[in-house]
Amino acid sequence: MTSRSDARPAPISDIIDDASVETDSAPAVAPLVGAQDLNESSLYIHRELSQLQFNIRVLEQALDETKPILERLKFLLIFSSNMDEFFEIRVAGLKSQIAFDHEIVGPDGIPPKRALAEISEITHKQIERQYAILNERILPELDRQGIRIVRRNEWSHKQKMWVRRYFRHEVAPLVTPIGLDPTHPFPLLVNKSLNFIVQLEGVDAFGRDSGLAVVPAPRVLPRLIRLPDEVCEGGDNFVLLSSIIHAHADELFPGMSVKGCYQFRLTRNADLTIDPEDVEDLARALRGELYSRRFGDAVRLEVADNCPKELTDYLLRQFGLTAAEMYEVNGPVNLARLFGLASKTHAPQLLYPPFTPSIPKSLKKAEDLFQVINKQDVLLLHPYESFAPVVDLLHQAAKDPNVLAIKQTLYRSGANSEIVDALVDAARAGKEVTVVVELRARFDEESNLSLASRLQQAGAMVIYGVVGVKTHAKLMLIQRREGEELVRYAHLGTGNYHTGNARLYTDYSLLTSDQALCEDVHKLFSQLTGMGKILRMKKLLHAPFTLKKTLLELITRETAHASAGRAAHILIKINALTDPKMIRALYKASMAGVRVDLIVRGMCCLRPGVPGVSHNIVVRSIVGRFLEHSRVYYFANNGDEQYYLASADLMERNLDRRVETGFPIDSKKLQQRLKKELELYLTDNCSAWELQPDSNYTRLLPTPGQMSRNVQSQLLEKLCGVGAQTEV
């Protein structure tokens, strides 16, 4: 591998004078000596606080003026979606620990109450920044480009007339205002739904004068409505559903006087609590639990910043929340609903230029994919290289009379995906089709229930995996008769079988007919669908049995090389690093002199740069156009280099409580390719952020005279052709 980038740290944007991604959550770390000190809490970063730092890095992309303005808006909205999930799962989990008096303190030593206090301080600051970025940077720039969200006080007479007709014909018939009185207590509101708290004056037809009402916005209506060109003066003009309801609130309460109307949104605990060991029919139990998810315990209240204190206090009491759990916002409370802005406008110049994923020469004109894969392994890097060969291989298998059986895992794919279509076709064609569907893929449970039902109706054998252990491995196995032999072909990946994600996530796919590796895949499917002891694998590493153990052994071996004075290097690219055993092993490697490069997109609980402990460890995070999702493990091994690709991150849940796989890349040609691509990640000085010892991240920028290097742009140019580069 090449040496580390000489990119210099750059300060965070100064959009708000006191705004920074840095926090004071981490204590100073003193130099430590000796392995016995590696349990010291100051050596570990709290996982939820680390996840929050990743969300902030996403928000920072909205300030990057080298990106097209609609893409900057998308990053701002992705931050909203990420924060929704952060509160639904992470914050809700911490609150549940406190509520049930089951507080878990991790290696970082931070108890849940303290963590929640720090999260509250950081999130209030960052959400305030988010709305400042939206109002002061994004919306004014969109306006200059002819894209406007027209506020109520800016509507022309023609626009007011059009909006009134829209309200009366499209909105009012679907709205159900709810007066609050002893017979109509506060309604049970759906998670993340848009609502209004309305102050009223007067007495209604039944003599009621409670003075308050709630108006839930119809969930079936779009939140962003395009104004017709004939009522505007050029450009793309939109109004928000919240503005329309707000402007006509008085029509919902005839004869009453509306004194105030304020939008709010409640976020609830959305984690499923089902215990697979306590149910006989997991699918049926899960369907019931999905309904309950919409009405979990409250964890956050978002409200318009002009809402009077007596009303916010009233809402907090209704939801059992404290003032620290309320977020007053200067804009729409449901920002994620603005994603439609990009698709509803006609301004491709304000988006990333489109690109066409490439197909390797060996596959481009191949009529028989089996013939190509039989001769050589094929490695694909999505989205730069197309996911189509994986789908085409499955379609070909479905039609091929020589294919006898297909086995596949599905974690996230979508019920109506091409992958599921091909599996349905194969089952209907009489193939033996076995699909291991993981129903408990968070937020995809409903989709997975649907695809499981569809596959079963087609005649496929659907297995729900192993009780208590999620099946997260990405595997496809095709068994084909060729002459007198039964030949196996496999696809192993670092990402999901989701064609949409394959255009947005970076992931590796390996297409292989390697006899030993395919035999291992066959054995793993046997373990998933049948029963028996652990089967010995020749090449495949698999959690929860051998993956963690082997990775620890490989790290220890690298440590021994360094201790003996031999060159040693570990390079790991993953999405998250939280497992304490892995962190301690990497600390020991660093202390022995091993150079450790970690490319960790999201959570990282390891603290780099601590003198005497992690001084040889550098952690960087790449945030760009595509979501970095591939997992790669490299070990220099004194010149006999080893590369593994995997479905697993270095998290306890992945290594100890999931079915995961790690598979070797043995081909020297493919190893050289991986080396060159990893080097691009290590020398990126445009989209890279480096983790500091104090747990904050600093963005890297080119030094004066240094060439700008953006790994995603370089890969687009290299794999998709000249002219595909999208960022400077």
Q: Do 74 and 354 meet the contact criterion of CB atoms below 8 Å apart?
A: no
Beta strand ranges found along 355-494 (DSSP E): 378-382, 403-410, 432-437, 461-463, 470-471, 475-482, 485-493
Residue 82 annotated as part of some ligand binding site: yes
Whole-number Å distance between alpha carbons of 334 and 77: 10
Whole-number Å distance between alpha carbons of 128 and 134: 10
Instruction: Tell the burial category of 207 from Cβ atoms under 10 Å away from its Cβ (0-12, 13-18, 19+).
Output: exposed
Q: How is residue 167 annotated by DSSP?
A: I
Q: What are residue 620's DSSP bridge partners?
A: 599, 690
Assess whether 472 carries a catalytic annotation. Answer: yes
Angle 445-458/282-293 helices, nearest 10 degrees?
Answer: 150
Residue 505 annotated as part of some ligand binding site: yes
Whole-number Å distance between alpha carbons of 608 and 619: 7
To which residue do tokens 């909006």 refer?
A: 163
Q: Which helix (H) or strand (E) holds 25?
A: none
Q: Which helix (H) or strand (E) holds 451?
A: helix 445-458
Q: Which two tokens stand for residue 559?
A: 């440590």
**Residue among 472, 491, 498, 569 flagged as catalytic:** 472
Q: Do 53 and 20 meet the contact criterion of CB atoms below 8 Å apart?
A: no
Beta strand ranges found along 612-653 (DSSP E): 617-622, 627-628, 632-635, 642-646
Residue 412 annotated as part of some ligand binding site: yes
Helix/strand/coil (H/E/C) assignment for every residue in 550-566: HHHHHHHHHHHHHHCCC
For residues 366-383, b (16+ Cβ closer than 10 Å) or e, as one string? beebbebbeeebbbbbbb
Give every CB contact of residue 680 below 8 A, 6+ residues apart in sequence.
709, 711, 714, 715
3-class secondary structure, 251: helix
Nearest Cα neighbor of 657 from 558, 561, 549, 543 is: 543
Whole-number Å distance between alpha carbons of 649 and 640: 24
Hey, what long-range contacts does 129-133 have (CB within 8 A, 24 or more apart)? 129/15, 129/16, 129/19, 129/59, 130/59, 130/62, 130/76, 130/79, 130/80, 130/335, 131/329, 131/330, 131/331, 132/15, 132/16, 132/19, 132/330, 133/15, 133/59, 133/62, 133/63, 133/76
Residue 629 annotated as part of some ligand binding site: yes
Percent helix, strand and coil across the chain, each rounded to 5? 40, 20, 40
Residues catalogued as catalytic: 472
Binding residues: 82, 412, 442, 505, 601, 629
Binding residues for Mg(2+): 412, 442
Binding residues for ATP: 82, 505, 601, 629
